[in-house]
């Protein structure tokens, strides 16, 4: 038996649940309700209202990715330390939220941010004024970072954990300060993990709809919400498919740009 045959279940799964649905999306994107070929679905996306929604989605996804990187990289670097005891236990703590359903995690954030939620109850208990957090952009961004942060930490941690620490020791022996060791040795070597983390965070963040729907009380309208409305509420899968196809193209372009940073997955692409 050829070893490639072992991949046949995966190939069949990908064809049935990835390739075939994508073909349907392409078909509906370029047809109207009667099935006739048209590009009119894409012209609707060029309207200012749609462009504003697209801009908000990309902007929030970018901010989420930056915050996840700023929080996740130091965390991964700390966890990868040679002298850190019980590092695996701390990694499990990062993974624990991912064992819970995505919607349940988001509902938990709602409990924290509501006007009568946990945070406001604590503020009132210590004599501080209540804050209106639910229904704001800050609540949506916080929910996105909370849900997607593990996807940034784990790839970077994996790369840093496999790093040859003799190179760091050599840099220190040659007189590099700790800051230069991090910026000139550790960061370039961890570029593959950073690229993977950025990709894994940005892709779901730019198309999310559950987080914005629940944490903004419908006040923040993103591309994911718009696609859901066209498919579910308006029963217009043609325009919904065209928006989905545009987002797919944008995501592929962003992945291509990220891969140019480190095409060989060897590190050092930024320097």
pLDDT in tens, 152-192: 999 999 898 888 878 888 887 888 888 888 888 888 888 88
In a domain, 1, yes or no: no
- Domain extent at residue 231: 47-102+148-261
Kindly tell me if the per-residue pLDDT of 268 is higher than 60: no
pLDDT for residue 156: 93
What lies within 8 Å, CB to CB, of 27 at 6+ separation is: 241
Q: Is residue 58 part of a domain?
A: yes
- Are 206 and 247 within 8 A, CB to CB? yes
CA distance 269 to 190: 10
Q: Mean of the pLDDT values across residues 190-199?
A: 90
CATH number at residue 179: 1.10.3720.10
What residues pair up with 37 in beta bridges, in sequence order? 31
d(CA 149, CA 72): 7
What's the pLDDT at 168?
81
Beta bridge partners of 31: 37
Question: What's 185's DSSP letter?
Answer: I
Residue 219 lies in a domain: yes
Whether pLDDT at 269 is above 70: no
- Whether 14 maps to a domain, the answer reads no
Q: Is residue 206 part of a domain?
A: yes
Sequence-separated (6 or more) residues with CB below 8 Å from residue 61: 144, 202, 205, 206, 208
Highest mean pLDDT among 1-15, 46-60, 61-75: 61-75
Reply yes or no on whether the pLDDT at 60 is more than 60. Answer: yes
Residue 95 maps to a domain: yes
The count of structural domains within the chain is: 1
Eight-class DSSP state of 130: P
Q: Is residue 166 part of a domain?
A: yes
Select the more confidently predicted residue: 185 or 88.
185
Does the pLDDT value for residue 258 go beyond 80? no
Q: What is the mean pLDDT of the chain?
A: 87
Q: What is the mean pLDDT of residues 210-219?
A: 87
């Amino acid at each position: 038996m050829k070893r490639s045959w072992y991949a046949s279940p995966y190939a069949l799964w990908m064809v049935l649940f990835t390739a075939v649905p994508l073909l349907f999306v392409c078909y509906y994107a370029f047809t109207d309700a009667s099935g006739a070929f048209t590009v009119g679905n894409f012209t609707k996306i060029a309207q200012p209202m749609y462009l504003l929604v697209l801009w908000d989605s990309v902007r929030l996804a970018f901010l989420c990715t930056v915050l996840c990187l700023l929080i996740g990289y130091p965390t991964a670097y700390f966890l990868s330390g040679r002298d850190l005891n019980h590092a695996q236990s701390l990694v499990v703590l990062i993974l624990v939220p991912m064992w819970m359903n995505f919607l349940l995690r988001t509902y938990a954030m709602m409990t924290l941010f509501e006007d009568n939620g946990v945070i406001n109850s604590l503020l009132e208990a210590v004599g501080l004024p209540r804050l209106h957090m639910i229904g704001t952009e800050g609540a949506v961004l916080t929910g996105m970072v909370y849900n997607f942060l593990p996807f940034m930490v784990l790839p970077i941690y994996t790369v840093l954990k496999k790093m040859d620490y003799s190179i760091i020791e050599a840099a220190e022996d040659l007189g590099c300060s700790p800051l230069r060791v991090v910026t000139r040795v550790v960061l370039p070597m961890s570029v593959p993990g950073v690229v993977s983390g950025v990709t894994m965070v940005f892709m779901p963040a730019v198309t999310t709809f559950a987080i914005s729907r629940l944490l903004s009380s419908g006040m923040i309208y993103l591309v994911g919400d718009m696609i859901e409305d066209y498919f579910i509420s308006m029963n217009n899968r043609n325009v919904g498919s065209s928006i989905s196809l545009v987002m797919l193209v944008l995501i592929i372009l962003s992945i291509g740009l990220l891969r140019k940073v480190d095409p060989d997955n060897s590190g050092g692409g930024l320097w």
